[in-house]
Amino acid sequence: MKYTGILIHFLLAAFALSTALPYDSLKDGLVAHYSFNYCDARDDSGNGSDGKLFGGVGCWCGIEDDGLLLDGARSYIEFPGKVNRYFNTSDFTISFYFKTEQYLVFRQSLLSKREDCDEYNMFDLMLDLNGREVNTAVHETPEKYYAGLSPALDTTGWIHFALVREGTRAYAYINGELQRQSFRCSGVDISNDAVLSFSNSPCVHNGQARRFKGVLDELRVYGRALSPEEVRKLYKEYPVENAVMDCVT
């Protein structure tokens, strides 16, 4: 009876762990949050990864309150600090809104953490209006990467993009809906010493891409993989159909 009681206790504990409640807040695991509502790049999460603006970044109507306006020529943003620790082999989620203000044949640099314009230990997101997609590159080497992860676009208005890495899988979302997913059995290590940045991919400097011209808003980084339901919930806080399309302030 003694051993039966121990076994029952063990099974109950295992069941409790297997049925643990999911995350109950979109603040759980939030590493950095940039609302840009003060026309700067302060980290509203309180974790100290305040961003730095370069090249005359302006302020414009965002998806919610204010966003940052980049000119497509000199403007870019860097995000130093703790936020950079979460891009290695562990789970993460990136979420942000953007609205382009120009059509280019060249790709436009969005968010990236990449030392050089090669395919070693990096991630790089680029707006490809010619190919009508967000080119989503997540590489450990040229041979080891998440293939087929770039989601298609059907608009040049406000777009919500989310990238989720969970274990050996990666997922790309547009406006709260899963568009692409990829699997790599051994995972993908994207560790590097570059600073997380927007509109400043190393490929801008060698002519393979251009800086982004448009508005960035509501950038969030999580140190965990958001579920599809959480990504949808996050998007529904600021659905693109509610955005102010013609800013006059």
Interval 71-101: pLDDT, tens: 999 999 999 999 999 999 999 999 999 999 9
| CA terminus-to-terminus distance, the chain | 76
What is the torsional sign of CA 99, 32, 59, 66?
Answer: positive
What's the CA gap between 114 and 208, in Å, rounded? 14
Among the four given CATH numbers 3.30.420.40, 3.40.50.300, 2.70.98.20, 2.60.120.200, the one describing domain 26-242? 2.60.120.200
Contact 187, 168 (CB under 8 A): yes
What is the predicted pLDDT for the residue at 244?
73
Token couple for 210: 């251009």
- How many whole angstroms separate alpha carbon 127 and alpha carbon 210? 10
Amino acid at 198: F
pTM over 0.75: yes
Residue with tokens 């958001």: 226
Place of tokens 């120009």: 102
Looking at the chain, the number of H-run helices and the number of E-run strands are 3, 15
Low pLDDT (below 50) residues in the chain: 1-4, 6-21, 249
DSSP 3-state helix, strand, coil percentages of the chain (rounded to 5)? 15, 35, 50
Residue 104: which of 134, 132, 74, 130 has the closest Cα?
Answer: 130
Helix (H, G, I), strand (E, B) or coil at 226: coil
How many whole angstroms separate alpha carbon 135 and alpha carbon 201?
Answer: 13
Of 160, 193, 167, the closest CA to residue 181 belongs to 167
What are 216's strand-pairing partners? 68, 98
The residue behind tokens 């955005």 is 243
pLDDT computed for residue 16 by the predictor: 42
Q: Which two tokens stand for residue 224?
A: 């965990």
Q: Give the integer Cα–Cα distance in Å for 153 and 176.
A: 13
